[in-house]
Structure 1
Amino acid sequence: MHQILVYADSLSWGIIPDTRGRFRFDQRWPGVVENALLNAGTSVRVIEDCLNGRRTVWDDPFKPGRNGREGLEKCMEINSALSLVIMLLGANDFQSMHNLTAWQSAQGLKALVGAIRRAPIEPGMSVPAIMLVAPPKLEKAKGSIAPKFKGAEDKAVGLADAIQAVAAECGCHFFDAGSVTPTSRVDGVHLDEDQHRTLGLALAKVIQPLVQ
């Protein structure tokens, strides 16, 4: 059986836009990926480590533990052996309390790639492949999260290209979620239920050859 770790934020945790509710596992994209691969005959388990508000390598001044570098190597050790690690991060780097660029966010992902590759896995276990997934292009945030993401749509311009460049530099697989879905119609940042399904089905097609 292949194990895939999804290390991500609220876009993958499956927050229902403009609520504090959560989509079911089979509704959010990691679950869609698992079910699609199982239905295609691939023996796979998708493990979610998705935290609302997780940045790449920056702290949240209001909530502890949102720095993606914290605990990542331990997470690798806990969940090994892994065939693939998928990271969909970056949106929270552009919250209103941060003044970051797309290049800086992508460099944060580069640091996380390094952490994955130096994690203390058991002897004989191979270092997993890594896929960097760029979040869909951020739109102007609406609803209750609007103050938190004020100006994010401008700061995040060029994020997908910057992540793709890091993926090429680090020898990682890359997928642009924005190539198959926009962000939520409700809040402009997260994913609606149908968008989770669209993304999950698209990712399953890309992942299947990697876990044969």
Structure 2
Amino acid sequence: MKQILVYSDSLSWGIIPGSRQRHPFDVRWPGRLENGLKAAGDDVRVIEDCLNGRRTVFDDPYKPGRSGLEGLAQRIEVNSPLALVILMLGNNDFQSMHPHSAWHAAQGNAALVHAIRTAPIEPGMPVPPILLVAPPQIGMPAGTMAEKFNGGDVKCTGFPKALDKVAKELNCPFFDASHIIHASAVDGVHLDAHSHETLGDALVPVVAALLGEPATP
């Protein structure tokens, strides 16, 4: 069995827009991806490590443990051997308490890639390839997200392009989710069921092509 680690935030954890409830596994995109790969004949397990509010490398001043760097190397060690790591992080870097730009969030992803590639895994285990996924861009923050993401729709401008540049520099495959899905109008941040299903289905052939492919640090 090949193991895939999804390292992400609430967009992948599956918050239902306008609530604190969670989409079921078969709806949220990591589950949809696992089921699609299995239906195509791949023996896989998708491990969800998706923390609500997780940034790339920045701290949340109100909640501890939201920097994506915190404990990442150990998560790689715990879950090894891994056939693939999927990173979809960045939108929380644009919360209203942060001054960050698209460049900052892209560089945060670069630091995460470095942490994965240098994690203290057991001798002989593979360094997994890393798929960088640009999340759909923040829409007009509304409801419970209005204050938290005020201005985020502007600060996130250009993030997919900046992340694509980092992916090329680090020799990571890249997928721009904003080409196929968008944030729900309910809160301007999270994904409805249709967007989860669309993203999971779109990633099936992408991930299938990457499984077993060696990483090039």
Q: TM-score range by the shorter chain?
A: over 0.9
5+ residue gaps, structure 1, are: none
Q: Which whole-Å CA distance do the structure 2 matches of 1:44 and 1:171 have between them? A: 24
Matched residue SS, 2:149: coil
Q: Which whole-Å CA distance do the structure 2 matches of 1:183 and 1:143 have between them? A: 13
Matched residue SS, 1:20: coil
Normalising by the residue count of structure 1, what TM-score does the alignment of the two structures yield? 0.99
Cα RMSD, aligned residues only: 0.7
CA drift at 1:145: 1.0
Question: Which position in structure 1 is the counterpart of 2:192?
Answer: 192
| Correspondence 1:125 to 2:125 | yes
Calculate percent identity across the aligned residue pairs.
60
CA drift at 1:187: 1.1
Matched residue SS, 2:198: helix
Residues 185, 192 of structure 1: 8 Å contact kept: no
Any runs of at least 4 consecutive aligned residues in structure 1 with deviations exceeding 4 A, and if so which?
none
- Within 5 A, what are the aligned runs for 1:125-204? 125-204=125-204
Question: Which position in structure 2 is the counterpart of 1:46?
Answer: 46
Matched residue SS, 1:175: strand
Normalising by the residue count of structure 2, what TM-score does the alignment of the two structures yield? 0.96
Q: Which whole-Å CA distance do the structure 2 matches of 1:206 and 1:4 have between them? A: 13
| Correspondence 1:103 to 2:103 | yes
Q: Which whole-Å CA distance do the structure 2 matches of 1:69 and 1:182 have between them? A: 26
Deviations 1:133-192 (A, max 9, x none): 001121111111110000000001000000000000001110000111111121111100
Question: Which position in structure 1 is the counterpart of 2:56?
Answer: 56
Q: Which whole-Å CA distance do the structure 1 matches of 2:171 and 2:42 have between them? A: 24
Question: Which position in structure 2 is the counterpart of 1:86?
Answer: 86
- How many residue pairs end up in the alignment? 212
| Correspondence 1:206 to 2:201 | no
5+ residue gaps, structure 2, are: 213-217
